[in-house]
Structure 1
Amino acid sequence: MKVKYTAAWVGLTAAALVAATGCSSDPVRDTAQKAADVADSSEKVMAALTRATDRTEQLGSAEVKMTTTIGTGTPVAMDGTYSWGDGAAMDVEMDTAAAQLSGLQDDPTTRVKMVDGAYYYGIDPQANGPLEGKHWMRIDVAAVAGEAGADNIADNADPTSGLRYIGTSSDVRDLGEETVLGKKTTHYRGSVGAEAIKDSKFSAAEKKAALDALNAGGGKLTYDIWVDGKDLPVRMKQAGGGMTVTIEFRKFGATEPITAPPAADTGDLSEAVTEQRDKSLGQ
């Protein structure tokens, strides 16, 4: 049986520097005014994204719609709960065919959980094998993504993790006001590369998490974030390495705790998937 699952949160990064222009016929005064405008604009963007970081970090969970597009392939959408307050966790519904579970699930959508370092897939009870009579299939995150990938998911569990990288880029722009999901928002866009992360004042652990995300994104990632009047992100989009991940926040906080299914109703295929993955990598 072949099982492949690629919808992993890579993390969201933003940074702040906005170039503003002034109008003056005096070159000296014009230059000084431009410098002041740049500093003022940068501080405003910094402040807005820092407030979004703090607010999102405090709330710890949200009802979301997440869409992952790889190359020119069909986007894979997931709807449900995403939690980062006590480690990475999610409880979503996704397309059965996209999850490559059509052989195990007759319904068009499949419930997928990620909790306590493992993925759980809702399936139809099987007639034999390790999934005989089981309603859930368990696979370690490391079996799917490798140890480094599992660490990256854990390190970047919080969608504010990227926002904490503010200040490492020099090209973030305020793109103005836009209406997203019926809310008035301000749209920011920026990108970040490895050198900026290495030269930052982050801790070693923060640098590792950021660089892992960058490596997964091909060395440079571009981020868009739409922030509403309550200092909360409404939509975030990350693009890089041929993959685009978009997450829309429908409601923050007050979500149900995400727990693993009963062990007695779960079949574990972690070992088989690890062997399959190692074989595909020539290990």
Structure 2
Amino acid sequence: MRDRIFRRGILPIAVVAALSAVAGCSASGDTDSPKGSAAPSGSRAGRVDPRSAAALRAVEQATVRAGSARIESSTAMGGMLSLKTDGALGWSGDQVGTLRITYTGGQLAATMRALSGASMEARLLPDAYYAKVGDTFARRLNGRHWIRYGYGDLATLPGGSGAYLTDQLRTTAPLQPVRLLRACGDVRRVGEETVRGRRTTHYSGTVTPAALTGEDAAGLRKQLEQAGVATETVDIWVDDRGLLVKKAEQGELVGGRMSATAYYRDYGVQVSAARPPAADTADFKELMSTRGS
């Protein structure tokens, strides 16, 4: 069982799915979005109105200054796995944060519950992220309850997914959807809407890797291509301080349709993540090197 779990990358996939939901750059979506909010594909390619472009620049700058936020999200990876995530993330300097990931459905849900119970804690630190497993799986790890994933070590995952997972783990701030909209060349101001009692301005765009432009285009294009994204829609709702209240994405991956919604609040909150005890931690790289044993 342990060999199958690490060979297929099930545990990192589940954690990264949660982080993708809060970061952006997974093909994803939102059943709570108003009908007609998604930008029609190809209808406005290359024509971003100056007012929207300036507003998105201001949103990116405000997000960088805020440095942290509390986040809750839901993600569906086709029929493979769906989950909910809540926690706090900081991006002022090194990425840091703690998330609680709850499995809500999909083919892998039963496997994940067997590994870590109904939910799993994930901690994001500058050098690695840590995932906590339940007692049942810990017995297969000589009693250790945490798995450490060094960012460079994820390249050992099969199928070329390692680089993409690493990029996702390094871009957990709500900056990625804003940068995608700025670079996509196909974004519009939808209008003003109330989200969870807060007045917001809604922006929507259609993203295709080949159409990305600007200084971030090369990196964003690489991430989308590694994820197998051909096209996706990105919607953000921004408050009067220029900060995201909500983000939604929808699209298609090679493995099927994916969807995600994230809500943000309490910007500037103090965020910390303690490193798990070394004696209670197994290293992913070492587990991969001995997976056949």
TM-score category by the smaller chain?
0.7 to 0.9
1:229-253: CA deviation from partner (whole Å, max 9, x where unpaired): 1211100112222222221102212
Q: Call closer, same or farther: CA 1:12–1:268 in 2, change over 3 Å.
A: closer
1:200-259: CA deviation from partner (whole Å, max 9, x where unpaired): 331xxx333201332215222210000111211100112222222221102212222223
Which stretch has the larger CA shift, 210-219 or 143-152?
A: 143-152
Q: Could you say what secondary structure the match of 1:219 adopts? A: coil
Q: Could you say what secondary structure the match of 1:252 adopts? A: coil
Query: Contact between 1:112 and 1:122, CA under 8 Å: does it hold in 2?
Result: no
Identity of aligned residues (%): 27
Residue 271 of structure 2 is aligned to residue 256 of structure 1: yes
Residue 75 of structure 2 is aligned to residue 68 of structure 1: yes
Query: Contact between 1:156 and 1:209, CA under 8 Å: does it hold in 2?
Result: no
Residue 199 of structure 2 is aligned to residue 192 of structure 1: no
Q: Could you say what secondary structure the match of 2:64 adopts? A: helix
Q: Call closer, same or farther: CA 1:86–1:100 in 2, change over 3 Å.
A: farther
CA distance in 2, matches of 1:180, 1:127: 41
Which position in structure 1 is the counterpart of 2:114?
103
Scaled by the length of structure 2, the TM-score of the pair is: 0.71
Which is higher, the Rg of structure 1 or of structure 2? 1
Match of 2:88 among 81, 84, 88: 81
Q: Could you say what secondary structure the match of 2:218 adopts? A: helix
Which position in structure 2 is the counterpart of 1:212?
222
Residue 211 of structure 2 is aligned to residue 201 of structure 1: no
Higher helix share: 2
- Give 1:48's aligned amino acid: A
Which position in structure 1 is the counterpart of 2:184?
169
Segments of 5+ residues of structure 1 without an aligned counterpart are: 19-38
Segments of 5+ residues of structure 2 without an aligned counterpart are: 26-38, 40-46
Residue 135 of structure 2 is aligned to residue 124 of structure 1: yes
CA distance in 1, matches of 2:173, 2:89: 10
Q: Call closer, same or farther: CA 1:87–1:246 in 2, change over 3 Å.
A: farther
Q: Call closer, same or farther: CA 1:194–1:251 in 2, change over 3 Å.
A: same
CA distance in 2, matches of 1:52, 1:275: 46
CA distance in 2, matches of 1:274, 1:90: 28
1:163-186: CA deviation from partner (whole Å, max 9, x where unpaired): 235543343122212111211111
Which position in structure 1 is the counterpart of 2:243?
232
- Give 2:57's aligned amino acid: T
Query: Contact between 1:121 and 1:137, CA under 8 Å: does it hold in 2?
Result: yes
Residue 73 of structure 2 is aligned to residue 57 of structure 1: no
Scaled by the length of structure 1, the TM-score of the pair is: 0.73
Q: Call closer, same or farther: CA 1:86–1:123 in 2, change over 3 Å.
A: farther
